[in-house]
Amino acid sequence: MSIRIPILNRSRKFGYIIWKKINDFEVKSHLKDIPEVEVIFEGKNMGKKKVDWKYRRISVGWRTTRPIPNEKTYYNLALSRDRKLSIKCQ
């Protein structure tokens, strides 16, 4: 199972996977309120990242998000059984 989150301009600029309050239930049920997760962004292992539930974001670094083409408008998040979060841009 995977979820889609829109790529916001501030997400590209500051290097976060950010979701809005509307998507909060969907993200919390998908990630199961875990405090940190190992992130694989576009096939590159980013290591363990803290899930900031208060501000609804996961940091992946601005060097990772700024090169994302403007044609890509969604993040596709999929959590595997071994607790690795795979993020692909669509």
Q: What is the pTM of this model?
A: 0.90
Residues 40-49: contacts with CB under 8 Å, at least 24 apart: 40/84, 40/85, 40/86, 40/87, 41/87, 42/87, 42/88, 42/89
CATH number (domain holding residue 81): 2.40.330
**6: containing domain:** 2-89
> What's the pLDDT score for residue 33?
84
Which alpha helices (DSSP H) does 18-75 contain, by range? 24-31, 62-65
Each of the 90 residues of the chain gets a pLDDT tens digit; together they read 789 999 999 999 999 999 999 999 999 999 988 999 999 999 999 999 999 999 999 999 999 999 999 999 999 999 998 989 999 999
Please, are residues 73 and 90 in contact by the beta-carbon 8 Å criterion?
A: yes
* pLDDT attached to residue 1: 77
Considering its fold, how many domains does the chain have in total? 1
Residue 42's pLDDT is what?
Answer: 95
- Torsion angles phi and psi, residue 7, rounded to 5: -85, 110
- The whole-number pLDDT of residue 50 equals 96
